[in-house]
Amino acid sequence: MSIIKKLLSIFGIGGSNGQSQQNGNLDLLQRVREQRAGSFPKITDWLVDNYHTSINFRVMHMGISEVVGKFKEFKAEFNGVSPDFSNMSATVTIFVISIETDMVARDMYLKSSDFFDCEKYPTIEFRSTSVQWRPFRSFNLHGNLTIKGNTQPITFEGKIINFLPKDMFGEPRVGFELKGEINRKDFGLSWQMEMESGDKAVDDIIKIEIHAEIATRNGVDAMNNYLKQMAG
């Protein structure tokens, strides 16, 4: 009997074919994650670890390639979190001036009044309204996104990557990812240039990808101090 089968038998999972074994493996993984989640203390306030979190976006350029960018400065809090994260709520503030696309001239133009107009609208705001949990630690995070004074509903598809009851500093930590998309014109980002082919210089659809770690305040402070010591 293989190690996997032995583990599955311990948890009362069995199967006579490959599909059954695959389903059993997934079930076992889910049970392990559930056990880790259940071992978490009842923490109501979490902070984002900015050093291990990224807010990225993608947009098609002239219909032939993607431009990838990110916002380097932001702050976020997750509140009212039960041990199973069933009542999660989030508030996020992104500082537009921190936008980066690996081209200084383009970054300056994105900050101008033709796009984000960061002097008049220095931040992008997100406030969650509800969370819907799905199997295997997947969820939909619903909320309102505000860009340039325009607020629109948005739904992020999320997935818990892992639970750590104790990280390298002895503090609980959670990793997750979020994916969503918006039509930039809904938020007043309407600049456009059409070419003879009919393709657009900048596509209307913006894809958003967030990879995040959240931890207790003690955990975030400990990580920040550790990284500062590494940097000398």
Maximum Cα interatomic distance, the chain, rounded to a whole number of Å: 66
CA dihedral 198, 199, 202, 207 (to 10 degrees): 130
**Which of 17, 32, 37, 21 lies closest to 8, judged by CA?**
21
pTM of the model: 0.78
* pLDDT tens per residue, range 58-72: 998 888 899 999 999
In sequence order, the 6+-apart residues with CB closer than 8 A to the CB of 197 are 63
- Using CB atoms within 10 Å of the CB of residue 166, give its burial: 0 to 12 exposed, 13 to 18 middle, 19+ buried: exposed
Phi-psi region of 170 (alpha: psi -120 to 50; beta: other; left: phi over 0): left
Which range, of 43-47, 50-54, 118-122, 125-129, averages the lowest pLDDT? 43-47
- Using CB atoms within 10 Å of the CB of residue 137, give its burial: 0 to 12 exposed, 13 to 18 middle, 19+ buried: buried
Let me know: does 91 contact 128? Beta carbons within 8 Å. Answer: yes
The whole-number pLDDT of residue 207 equals 97
Token duo for residue 104: 């200084």
* pLDDT tens per residue, range 118-154: 999 999 999 999 988 888 789 999 999 999 999 999 9
- Structural domains present in the chain: 3-37 (no CATH), 41-231 (2.40.128.110)
Let me know: does 21 contact 7? Beta carbons within 8 Å. Answer: no
- Using CB atoms within 10 Å of the CB of residue 46, give its burial: 0 to 12 exposed, 13 to 18 middle, 19+ buried: buried
Segment 96-103 long-range contacts (CB within 8 Å, at least 24 positions apart): 96/71, 96/121, 96/122, 96/123, 96/124, 97/73, 97/122, 98/71, 98/72, 98/73, 98/74, 99/69, 99/70, 99/71, 99/72, 100/69, 100/70, 100/71, 100/72, 101/67, 101/68, 101/69, 102/68, 102/69
* pLDDT tens per residue, range 168-188: 999 989 899 999 999 999 999
